[in-house]
């Protein structure tokens, strides 16, 4: 039941976000005097609608988005009635058209910022005082699972070498066989290179006191650290997991209403960098998505669709990690806001780019004393528009298919 509730919550959050996106276009267009004839939530057959003034509002059967119709978005549109020519969108100043076309993304950014601000006060934000990279403070496991399965220890599972040797939770590993350990990643690499079955000397720090003990690594099958999708091979492990936070350092920090403002700005900046890096990696992730669809292992770093986001929301709520629903809502809104501003038709960013191209071209021709070439012919751009739609549709279908037949799973079920 909780899983289904999480799926529904994320799906509804996405639908509401997209509906508000379209409302942003509609309200700004109306504010400038442009004519908006339709505003609908969903696609497909109409369930109900009503008309207020010159705009028809309604709900459609397929809850996968929404739309609003602004009259005369391009000079080639034939939806302008006699007497409304002056209200056609393309006739308005470029700055007004820019505000209208960017309003959808502004709504997404506003939703993300408000959610971050609320999260900073009531949920907590990542603690900036946490060292990066984390030192090798560890948690000690009770047993070793030779195949790397995600399950609880069972009778017959070999005991953890670290636990047998006397390591404890929150111990900080300083050195292994005399090799200094600077962080948890170095500990993992060093442990995997140890000869299995041969005692290793581990120097550690516990409550400010250093000590040494002997651990005999176990041989297990694990994926390579630098290739999570590669074939498993025999490596050594000592039975610790992490990295854990240093004792007394909280993972998150909550803020007051005023202090939450700079915290929101800082998190938004990190989100912007992360979104840029994620978008930059999309082309190289397509082969991994195809491999996931054709039977290979699903890379957790591959893009997800609305289907995948909803499933992750269900998993999060089912496992009691409701905070992940908030983070999903934030990241999805920010990503959609950025993506929608890309200078490609039919995205809003494409219309904005054309409007400013027309303005710059008119200015340049005027500077050269030449006749203004006028508006861009959108019909000539239709092949490029169709290509973007085709590529975008294929990518969406690929991610949705992967999320259905080979979804990303963050929790063992």
Residues with a known catalytic role: 22
| 8 Å CB contact between 144 and 237 | yes
Spatial distance between the Cα atoms of 10 and 333, rounded to a whole number of angstroms: 12
| 8 Å CB contact between 60 and 45 | yes
Give 96's Cβ-side CA count (13 Å radius). 17
| 8 Å CB contact between 49 and 57 | yes
Q: Please, is 394 exposed, middle or buried when counting C-beta atoms within 10 Å of its C-beta (0-12, 13-18, 19+)?
A: exposed
Number of H helices, E strands in the chain: 10, 12
Strands 218-222 and 233-237: antiparallel
Spatial distance between the Cα atoms of 275 and 334, rounded to a whole number of angstroms: 8
Q: Indicate left, alpha or beta for 22 from its phi (over 0: left) and psi (-120 to 50: alpha).
A: alpha
Q: Which long-range contacts (CB under 8 A, 24 or more apart) does 201-204 make?
A: 201/176, 201/177, 202/165, 202/167, 202/173, 202/175, 202/176, 202/238, 203/173, 203/174, 203/175, 203/176, 204/167, 204/171, 204/172, 204/173, 204/174
405: its two tokens: 């037949």
Q: DSSP letter string over 270-331?
A: HHHHHHHHHHHTHHHHHHHHHHHHTTSPPPTTS---HHHHHHHHHHHHHTT-THHHHHHHHH
Spatial distance between the Cα atoms of 271 and 373, rounded to a whole number of angstroms: 41
Please work out, in degrees rounded to the nearest 5, the angle formed at the alpha carbon of residue 335 by the alpha carbons of 258 and 396.
160
> Which residues, other chains included, contact 393 with Cβ-Cβ below 8 Å and sequence gap of 6+?
none
Closest alpha carbon to 136 in 99, 179, 100: 179
- Measured in whole angstroms, the distance separating CA 57 from the mean position of its chain's CA atoms is 31
Spatial distance between the Cα atoms of 142 and 156, rounded to a whole number of angstroms: 12
């Amino acid at each position: 039941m909780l899983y289904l509730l999480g799926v529904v919550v994320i799906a509804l959050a996405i639908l509401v976000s997209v509906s508000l996106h379209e409302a942003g276009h509609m309200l700004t267009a109306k504010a400038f005097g442009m004519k908006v004839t339709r505003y609908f939530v969903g696609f497909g057959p109409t369930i109900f609608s009503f008309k207020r003034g010159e705009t028809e509002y309604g709900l459609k059967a397929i809850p996968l988005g929404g739309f609003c119709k602004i009259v005369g978005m391009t000079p080639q549109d034939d939806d302008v009635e006699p007497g409304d020519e002056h209200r056609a969108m393309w006739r308005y100043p470029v700055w007004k058209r820019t505000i209208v076309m960017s309003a959808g993304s502004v709504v997404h950014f506003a939703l993300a910022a408000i959610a971050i601000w609320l999260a900073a006060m009531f949920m907590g934000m990542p603690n900036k005082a946490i060292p990066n990279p984390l030192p090798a403070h560890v948690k000690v496991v009770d047993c070793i699972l030779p195949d790397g399965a995600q399950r609880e220890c069972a009778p017959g599972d070999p005991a953890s070498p670290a636990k047998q040797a006397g390591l404890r939770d929150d111990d900080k590993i300083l050195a292994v066989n005399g090799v200094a350990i600077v962080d948890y990643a170095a500990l993992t690499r060093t442990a995997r290179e140890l000869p299995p079955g041969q005692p290793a000397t581990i120097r550690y720090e516990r409550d400010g006191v250093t000590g040494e003990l002997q651990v005999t690594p176990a041989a297990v099958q694990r994926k390579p650290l630098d290739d999570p999708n590669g074939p498993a091979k025999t490596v050594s492990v000592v039975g610790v997991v992490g990295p854990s936070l240093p004792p007394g350092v909280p993972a998150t920090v909550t803020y007051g209403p005023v202090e939450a403002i700079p915290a929101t700005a800082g998190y938004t900046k990190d989100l912007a960098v992360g979104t840029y890096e994620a978008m930059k990696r999309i082309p190289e992730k397509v082969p991994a998505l195809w491999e996931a669809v054709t039977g290979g292992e699903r890379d957790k770093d591959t893009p997800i669709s609305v289907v995948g986001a909803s499933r992750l929301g269900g998993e999060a709520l089912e496992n009691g990690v409701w905070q992940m629903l908030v983070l999903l809502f934030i990241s999805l809104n920010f990503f959609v806001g950025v993506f929608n501003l890309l200078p490609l038709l039919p995205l809003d960013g494409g219309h904005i780019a054309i409007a400013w191209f027309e303005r710059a071209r008119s200015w340049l021709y005027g500077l050269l004393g030449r006749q203004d070439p006028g508006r861009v012919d959108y019909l000539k751009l239709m092949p490029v528009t169709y290509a973007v739609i085709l590529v975008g549709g294929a990518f969406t279908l690929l991610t949705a298919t992967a999320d259905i037949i080979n979804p990303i799973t963050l929790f063992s079920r």
